[in-house]
């Protein structure tokens, strides 16, 4: 009796979306050409390897480094909207990457999962963009117009999102 081998690698759609978001998260670092881009590049490399070798820890580390790179770029003077977008992209990369890993483990890489993955990604993007929009609005009307408040609020929102998704 011959068994069928199932490839338990992360799904292609989710992996592609996660890597695209990871690349977008590099934008704030590139805008300042400082340490933020280096931290983010290491994060993108870790994310890529995590998806290539199906390692959850590397996907989490990579996404964390992407967000850290964005925050460093913010400290280095990257524009507020770029920083908020970068953080959303970093968290999105983590969420979609973890989803790709989970679907690959449960259903296999060749399963028809594109619709479910795109729905998940759309919902995750909507939550992230709404959070960033709210944070940016708070930064505009906040005391003294300090954009740091927006970043702090976004970090709290991102932590809440991560807690809700796990």
The pLDDT of residue 149 is 56
The pLDDT of residue 165 is 66
User: Rounded to an integer, what distance in angstroms lies between the CA atom of residue 121 and that of residue 97?
Assistant: 10
Quote the pTM value. Answer: 0.85
Specify the residue for token string 């992230």.
Answer: 128
pLDDT of 24 above 90: yes
Region 112-119 average pLDDT = 96
Identify the sign of the CA torsion 143, 148, 154, 157: negative
């Amino acid at each position: 009796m011959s068994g069928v081998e199932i490839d338990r690698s992360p799904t292609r759609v989710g992996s592609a979306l996660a890597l695209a978001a990871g690349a977008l998260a590099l934008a704030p670092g590139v805008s300042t050409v400082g340490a933020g881009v280096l931290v983010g590049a290491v994060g993108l490399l870790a994310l890529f390897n995590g998806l290539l070798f199906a390692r959850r820890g590397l996907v989490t580390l990579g996404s964390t480094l992407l967000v850290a790179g964005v925050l460093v770029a913010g400290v280095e003077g990257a524009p507020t909207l770029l920083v908020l977008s970068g953080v959303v992209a970093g968290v999105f990369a983590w969420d979609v990457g973890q989803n790709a890993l989970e679907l690959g483990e449960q259903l296999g890489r060749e399963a028809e999962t594109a619709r479910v993955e795109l729905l998940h990604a759309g919902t995750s993007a909507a939550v992230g963009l709404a959070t960033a929009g709210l944070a940016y609005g708070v930064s505009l009307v906040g005391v003294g117009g300090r954009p740091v408040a927006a970043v702090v609020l976004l970090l709290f929102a991102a932590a809440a999102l991560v807690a809700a998704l796990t």
